[in-house]
Amino acid sequence: VQAPVVCGVSSLGYDHMEILGNSLGQIAGEKAGIFKGGVPAFTVPQPEEAMCVLEETASKLNVNLQIASPLDADSLQGLQLGLDGKHQFVNAGLAVALCYTWLQRTGQAEVAYHTNTKSLPEEFVKGLTTASFQGRAQIVSDEFICSGRTGDLVFYLDGAHSPESMEVCATWFCHAIKEDRHLRSSNELPSSDNS
């Protein structure tokens, strides 16, 4: 993209190393290739080596690089993110920064991005809470089991392609399993209704 409106770099890790390089600095340097002079850019908290390269590249290109804060759960007005996992609050914070900036730079809104994400436009909340991504942190029950019991076979779907994303995937899976067990045990409690 020769003339982007805004640029964003999500969490960096050791991925696509055959193309991007063998160190976080090299990977960050390749990812910073999207920066264009005078175009604002956002990233999320990064490992020090990667952040230094992103900041150095931004400085050379006269790019205003800002760190997007993770989304504050309170800004969702009691709702849940549509995408499961604690790491999604980091991604959502980046998405909010990018959207605010795109709207402001294209004349769609007068409000510039601010790091206080406790108060979001209704459309942002709707997007963040209804977002879905098939196969990412997705729980699917087998609907074809004819045993009469629901949830006999459950698939936990997610993917990872780096050690860092595998750790995030494993964290989500452990949380999802605990939550599922809790829900199942709650549903199996004897009813206090004697009717």
Q: State the burial class of residue 149 (Cβ atoms within 10 Å of its Cβ: 0-12, 13-18, 19+).
A: exposed
Q: Are residues 17 and 98 in the same domain?
A: yes
Number of compact structural domains in the chain = 2
pLDDT of residue 58: 98
> Could you tell me the CA-to-CA distances from 110 to 38, 65, 93, 128 in Å, in that order?
19, 20, 19, 21
Q: Which residues span the domain enclosing 64?
A: 7-130
CA distance 68 to 154: 35
Residues 103 and 176 in one domain: no
Give yes or no: residues 40 and 89 share one domain: yes
**Rounded average pLDDT per 10-residue block, the chain, 195 residues:** 94 86 93 96 97 98 96 87 88 94 87 66 91 85 63 80 85 84 63 49
88 in the same domain as 109: yes
Give residue 7's pLDDT.
Answer: 98
**Residue 189: what pLDDT?**
53
Last residue of a domain, one of 111, 130, 149: 130
Contacts of 165 (CB under 8 A, 6+ apart): 13, 15, 159
The total of other beta-carbon atoms located within 10 Å of residue 57's CB is 19
Q: What amino acid occupies position 132? A: S
Residues whose CB is less than 8 angstroms from the CB of residue 38 and which lie 6 or more positions away in sequence, other chains included: 62, 63
Whether residues 47 and 73 fall in one domain: yes
Are residue 92 and residue 13 in the same domain, yes or no?
yes
